[in-house]
Amino acid sequence: MVLDKRRARLLSIIRQSADPIPTKDLVAKMKISQRTIYYDLDQINSWLVDQNLEPIESKHGKGLYLPDTSKSKLILHKEEGFEDWHYQLSKQEREVLIKAKILLEEQDASMQSFMDLTSMSRGTVAKVIKAIKNDFRQTGLDLFYQKGSGYRISGSEEAKRKVLSDILAIIFAHPEWHNVRNEVYQMIQPGAGSSYQEMDQRSIVRNLLYEAEQKLGLTLTDEMVEILSLQILMIIKRVQLREYIVVQSEEKQVLQQTEAYQAILIITNKLRDLWKVSFPDDEICFLTMNLLGSKVQHDDFSHYTERELSGLREVVQRMISDFQLYSCVMFDDKKGLEENLISHIKPTYYRLKYGVKIANDLAASIQKNYPDIFHLTKRVMKHLELYAGEIIPDEEVAYITLHFGGWLTKEKKQVETKFRAIIVCENGIGTSNMLRTQLENLIAGLNVTKTLSIRQYQSRDLNADVVFSTNYIKERDIPVIHVPAILTNLEKEQIIRRMNELFHSKQQHKDSSDLLMEVIEKYATIHQKDELKSEIVQLLEKNTPVSKELQKPMLNELLTEQTIQFKDHVSNWEEAVETAAQPLVEQQSIRPQYIEAMIDNVKELGPYIVIAPRIAIPHARPEAGVEKLGMSFLRLKQPVYFSDKEKHRAQLIIVLAAIDNQTHLKALAQLTEMLSMEENVERLISANDPESVIELINKTVEV
Q: pLDDT digit string (tens) for 525-551?
A: 887 777 787 777 767 655 544 333 457
Residue 445's CB is within 10 A of a number of other CB atoms, namely 12
Task: Report yes or no: 283 and 244 within 8 Å, Cβ to Cβ.
Answer: yes
Q: Of 296, 293, 320, 338, which Cα lies nearest the Cα of 383?
A: 320
pLDDT surpasses 50 at 595: yes
Q: What confidence score (pLDDT) does residue 387 get?
A: 92
Residue 610 to residue 595: CA distance in whole angstroms: 16
Cα 572 to Cα 650: distance, rounded to the nearest angstrom: 11
Do the beta carbons of residue 661 and residue 621 sit within 8 Å?
no
Q: State the Cα–Cα distance between residues 49 and 47, nearest whole angstrom.
A: 5
* Partners of residue 557 on adjacent β-strands: none
Q: What does CATH list as the number for 304-408?
A: 1.10.1790.10
CA distance linking residue 89 with residue 116, whole number of Å: 12
Strands 419-424 and 446-452: parallel
Domains 196-299 and 304-408 share a fold: yes
Q: Residue 541 has what pLDDT?
A: 53
Domain 419-499 has CATH 3.40.50.2300: yes
Mean pLDDT score, 121-144: 93
| 165 backbone dihedrals φ, ψ, rounded to 5° | -65, -40
Buried b (16+ CB within 10 A) or exposed e, 555-568: bbebbbeebbbeee
pLDDT at 5 over 70: no
Q: Are strands 610-612 and 614-616 parallel, antiparallel or unpaired?
A: antiparallel
Cα–Cα distances (Å) from 155 to 200, 259, 313, in that order, read 33, 32, 39
Mean pLDDT of 269-278: 91
Which residues, other chains included, contact 79 with Cβ-Cβ below 8 Å and sequence gap of 6+? 8, 9, 12
Q: Alpha-carbon distance 508 to 255, whole Å?
A: 59
Rounded average pLDDT over 444-469: 87
Q: Residue type for 442, please?
A: L
Is the whole-model pTM more than 0.75? no
Find the range with the poorest average confidence among 374-388, 396-410, 505-519: 505-519
Q: Contact, 346 vs 310, CB < 8 A? A: no
Query: Which whole number is the average pLDDT over 610-631?
Result: 93
Q: For residue 243, which of 313, 174, 327, 164 has the smallest C-alpha distance?
A: 164
As a whole number, mean pLDDT of residues 40-61 equals 82
Q: What is the DSSP string of 111-126?
A: HHHHHHHHT--HHHHH
- Give the residue from 251, 417, 470 showing the smallest Cα distance to 350: 251
pLDDT at 512: 67
Is pLDDT at 129 greater than 80 in this prediction? yes
Cα separations (Å) of 493 from 9, 469, 533, 548? 29, 16, 19, 10
Q: Which amino acid is at 496?
A: I
Count, in order, helices (H) and strands (E) of the chain: 31, 15
Q: Name the range with the highest mean pLDDT among 13-17, 453-457, 470-474, 653-657.
A: 653-657
> Average pLDDT, stretch 370-374?
90
Please give the backbone phi and psi of residue 22, each rounded to the nearest 5 degrees, phi first.
Answer: -60, 150
Pick the residue with more confidence: 432 or 360?
Answer: 432
- If 0-12 CB within 10 Å is exposed, 13-18 middle and 19+ buried, where does residue 343 land? buried
For residue 524, with 0-12 CB atoms within 10 Å meaning exposed, 13-18 middle and 19 or more buried, which class applies?
A: exposed
Is the confidence at residue 506, as pLDDT, over 50?
A: no
Cβ neighbours of residue 350 closer than 8 Å, sequence gap 6 or more: 289, 292, 293, 356
Give the 3-state secondary structure of 249-317. Answer: HHHHHHHCCCHHHHHHHHHHHHHHHHHCCCCCHHHHHHHHHHHHCCCEEEECHHHCCHHHHHHHHHHHH
Domain ranges (residues) in the chain = 5-84, 91-188, 196-299, 304-408, 419-499, 512-543, 555-702
For residue 75, is pLDDT > 70? no
* Overall CATH class of domain 5-84: mainly alpha
Residues facing 450 on adjacent strands: 422
Report whether 128 contacts 96 (CB < 8 A). no
CATH number for the segment(s) 91-188: 1.10.10
For residues 370 and 308, the answer to whether their CB atoms sit within 8 Å is no
Q: What angle (nearest 5°) sits at the alpha carbon of residue 647, between those of residues 642 and 653?
A: 50
| Of 8-22, 72-86, 318-332, the least confident | 72-86
| Lowest-pLDDT choice from 17-21, 260-264, 303-307 | 303-307
**Which parts of 328-423 fold into alpha helices (H)?**
334-354, 363-369, 371-380, 382-388, 394-408
Cα–Cα distances in Å, from 13 out to 26, 29, 86, 95, 348? 8, 9, 18, 32, 43
The lowest-confidence range among 53-57, 134-138, 463-467, 590-594 is 53-57
**Looking at the predicted structure, is the pLDDT value of residue 559 above 90?**
yes
Q: Are 192 and 183 in contact (CB under 8 A)?
A: no
Rounded CA-CA distance 395/401 in Å is 10
- In eight-state DSSP terms, residue 626 is B
Give the CA angle between residues 44, 47, 52 to the nearest 5°: 125
Distance (Å, whole) CA 449 – CA 424: 11
What pLDDT, on a 0 to 100 scale, did the predictor assign at position 198?
47
Residues 6+ apart with CB under 8 A from 614: 639, 649, 650, 651, 652, 681, 685
Half-sphere exposure of 557 (CA within 13 A, CB side): 10
Rounded CA-CA distance 682/695 in Å is 14
| 511 — pLDDT class (breaks 50, 70, 90) | low
For residues 482 and 469, give the distance between their C-alpha atoms in angstroms, rounded to a whole number. Answer: 5
Residue 76 is predicted with a pLDDT of 47
Domain at 196-299, CATH homologous superfamily:
PRD domain (1.10.1790.10)
- Angstrom distance (rounded) from CA 56 to CA 46: 10
Separation between Cα atoms, residue 654 and residue 681, nearest integer Å:
13
- pLDDT band at 101; cut points 50, 70, 90: very high
Judge contact between 398 and 369, C-beta under 8 A.
no
Q: Regarding beta strands 57-59 and 63-65, do their DSSP bridges make them parallel or antiparallel, or are they unpaired?
A: antiparallel
From 11-20, 82-91, 614-623, the region with the lowest mean pLDDT: 82-91
Class of domain 555-702: alpha beta
Q: Read off the pLDDT of each residue in 215-222 and give the average, rounded to a whole number.
A: 84
